[in-house]
Chain A
Amino acid sequence: MEQFNIQEYLDSGVIELYVFDQLSEAEREAVEKLAAQYPEIQNEIAEVENAMGAYHTMEGLTPPDYILSNILAETAALPAITTAPDPSLKEVKALPRKSVAWLPIAAAVVGLALAGWMFMEKQTAQLNADKLQQELWALRSKEQDCAKDLAFADKQLTILRQQEGNKRVVVKNIDATKKQPIAAVYWNQSQRFAHLDLIDLSYPGSGKQYQLWAFVEGQAAPVSIGVVSWEDIQKGVISFKFDQKPAAFAISLERFGGSPTPTDVRGASAPLENIKG
């Protein structure tokens, strides 16, 4: 039986036509089947998609500024999608565009009833939270240009401190003679985000990375939240999504890529329940 020649398959141009959506349903399925079987094909699809993603940006077109706030307002007004695929889930029609002037109108109407009033309160809170989140990420979008700008880093931290629901947790140096904390973690329980601000950590050395850990109630070993590269540390605050409820945080120095368990702990925080805020 003739062996499948991956390179020949890639050179045929079928992956490009797959990304261009130029294949029949049967041809698409054949490509996807092969992609599931051969990582080289899956990787090639991603490479072509990335190249096209870059190509789309080359006219220098950027969407108007109001678009993001409109999207956030619209999603904030929709019920959260928390379940697995639900075939009965109908798409919700988009709300009117270019302004969120419907909100006060909706508030006036709904405000006739107490239940409606409570609903709007919740929406407003969500909008505020989203606005802060948006501001945070807008600032982060500039971070690569301002990597060494301490004032910018301060701004990031100011937003984190002001953002409702963030608890600042100091990670103290394991060496008790050093009073300066090595990091601060801004933990947001409702959003389940850990924003890591590394304060006093030296270059980890070649082939090594720092790793952030959480102590979780009921689990014997610390749970890894993620590793941080030295490049990311230079840029400012690093955000991690973490779906469990941490009781405390720790930072260790590990080989590049991280470790399943901490091996060289550099600092730890006090229990979150003992921290106000």
Chain B
Amino acid sequence: MEQKTTFPEHQLIEMVKNSDRAVIPMLYQRYSSSLYGLIVKTIGNQEDAAEILQDVFLKIWQRGHQYQEDKGSLLGWMMRIAKNAALDHTRSRVVSQRSKTDQMDYLVSDGKGPKSEARIPDVGLRNVLDRMDERHRQMIDLLYYQNYTQSEVEELLGIPLGTVKTRARAAITQLRKILRNENV
């Protein structure tokens, strides 16, 4: 993804591991849009997402020493913290299966995300979304944001479990290819 600062990644990591306060604005500048987007798409509203994002950055700062580079990128580690925080929030509100299904319905039906909240910022990003196969976007939405298990997706879409895995792979492969082409 786009790197918005010129600060070298390895120095950011060192600062994260040392829980250096000065790293917070840098991480925020570089990753807040991504983490916020993740949270909004997981919980479905922006107001709560803003509060969760605050908690997420506090956790990142407090748990910096736990980050292990060999287990994934810094962004991946932060995304896991954000996703867990968003899922905890969703669970704490005891979201009913109905609301989960309702949310899923809009994702399955048009895949455009929450229209009242979404703003497509530039042509490049819009192109990426428009060029992605609808089934691939659906797979990412169900498995990642809605946290459906592979078995639940198998049952919901009536496709074999093996297809769930290969479609997840195909979705990311297509996304990476488009991102490369769009230079996003």
On whether the beta carbons of B38 and A56 are closer than 8 Å, the reply is yes
Interface size counted on chain A using CB atoms at 8 A: 71
On whether the beta carbons of A84 and B65 are closer than 8 Å, the reply is yes
Q: Does A263 contact B (CB under 8 A)?
A: no
On whether the beta carbons of A94 and B25 are closer than 8 Å, the reply is no
Note all chain B residues with C-beta closer than 8 A to A144.
4
Give 19 A-B pairs besides A16-B171, A67-B28, A138-B29 with Cβ atoms closer than 8 angstroms: A16-B169, A20-B168, A21-B147, A54-B175, A54-B184, A56-B35, A56-B37, A58-B120, A58-B128, A62-B33, A63-B32, A75-B24, A81-B64, A85-B65, A91-B62, A94-B55, A134-B25, A239-B6, A239-B7
Note all chain B residues with C-beta closer than 8 A to A119.
none
Contact of A57 among B33, B65, B66, B149 (CB under 8 A): B33
Interface SS of chain B: helix
On whether the beta carbons of B66 and A85 are closer than 8 Å, the reply is yes
Q: Does A244 contact B (CB under 8 A)?
A: no
Note all chain A residues with C-beta closer than 8 A to B160.
none
Note all chain A residues with C-beta closer than 8 A to B62.
81, 89, 91-92
Q: In chain A, residues 83-126, which have Cβ atoms closer than 8 Å to a Cβ of chain B?
A: 84-85, 89, 91-92, 94, 97
Instruction: Tell me how far the C-beta of A60 lies from the nearest C-beta in chain B, rounded to whole angstroms.
Output: 4
Q: Does B108 contact A (CB under 8 A)?
A: no
On whether the beta carbons of B166 and A13 are closer than 8 Å, the reply is yes
On whether the beta carbons of A60 and B55 are closer than 8 Å, the reply is no
On whether the beta carbons of A67 and B32 are closer than 8 Å, the reply is yes
User: CA of A58 to CA of B76 in the docked complex: distance in angstroms?
Assistant: 17
Q: Does B158 contact A (CB under 8 A)?
A: no
On whether the beta carbons of B72 and A235 are closer than 8 Å, the reply is no
Note all chain A residues with C-beta closer than 8 A to B113.
59
B-contacting 9-mer, from A40-48, A153-161, A201-209, A267-275: A40-48
On whether the beta carbons of B117 and A61 are closer than 8 Å, the reply is yes
Contact of A137 among B18, B26, B35, B54 (CB under 8 A): B26
On whether the beta carbons of A13 and B24 are closer than 8 Å, the reply is no
Q: Does B75 contact A (CB under 8 A)?
A: yes
Flag B138-153 by CB within 8 Å of A: 1 or 0 each: 0010011001011000
List residues of B whose CB falls within 8 A of some A CB.
1-2, 4-8, 11, 14-15, 18-22, 24-26, 28-29, 31-38, 40-41, 46, 49-51, 53-55, 57-59, 61-62, 64-66, 70-73, 75-76, 79-80, 83, 113-114, 117-122, 125, 128-129, 140, 143-144, 147, 149-150, 165-166, 168-169, 171-172, 175-176, 179, 184
Q: Which residue of A lies closest to B84 (CB)?
A: A21
Number of inter-chain CB pairs below 8 Å: 211
Note all chain B residues with C-beta closer than 8 A to A199.
none
Note all chain A residues with C-beta closer than 8 A to B118.
59-61
Q: Does A3 contact B (CB under 8 A)?
A: no
Note all chain A residues with C-beta closer than 8 A to B22.
133, 191, 193, 241
On whether the beta carbons of A241 and B15 are closer than 8 Å, the reply is yes
Contact of B6 among A48, A71, A97, A238 (CB under 8 A): A238
Instruction: Tell me how far the C-beta of B51 lies from the nearest C-beta in chain A, rounded to whole angstroms.
Output: 6
Note all chain A residues with C-beta closer than 8 A to B37.
56-59, 61
User: CA of A235 to CA of B125 in the docked complex: distance in angstroms?
Assistant: 24
On whether the beta carbons of B34 and A53 are closer than 8 Å, the reply is yes
Q: Which residue of B lies closest to A188 (CB)?
A: B22
Instruction: Tell me how far the C-beta of A157 lies from the nearest C-beta in chain B, rounded to whole angstroms.
Output: 16
On whether the beta carbons of B35 and A71 are closer than 8 Å, the reply is no
On whether the beta carbons of A137 and B25 are closer than 8 Å, the reply is yes
Note all chain A residues with C-beta closer than 8 A to B2.
54
On whether the beta carbons of A19 and B179 are closer than 8 Å, the reply is no
Contact of A49 among B19, B29, B72, B125 (CB under 8 A): B72
On whether the beta carbons of B33 and A61 are closer than 8 Å, the reply is yes
On whether the beta carbons of A55 and B175 are closer than 8 Å, the reply is yes
On whether the beta carbons of B40 and A61 are closer than 8 Å, the reply is yes
Q: Which residue of B lies closest to A46 (CB)?
A: B73
Note all chain A residues with C-beta closer than 8 A to B1.
50-51, 53-54, 57
Instruction: Tell me how far the C-beta of B133 lies from the nearest C-beta in chain A, rounded to whole angstroms.
Output: 13
Q: In chain A, residues 4-32, which have Cβ atoms closer than 8 Å to a Cβ of chain B?
A: 11-14, 16-17, 19-22, 32
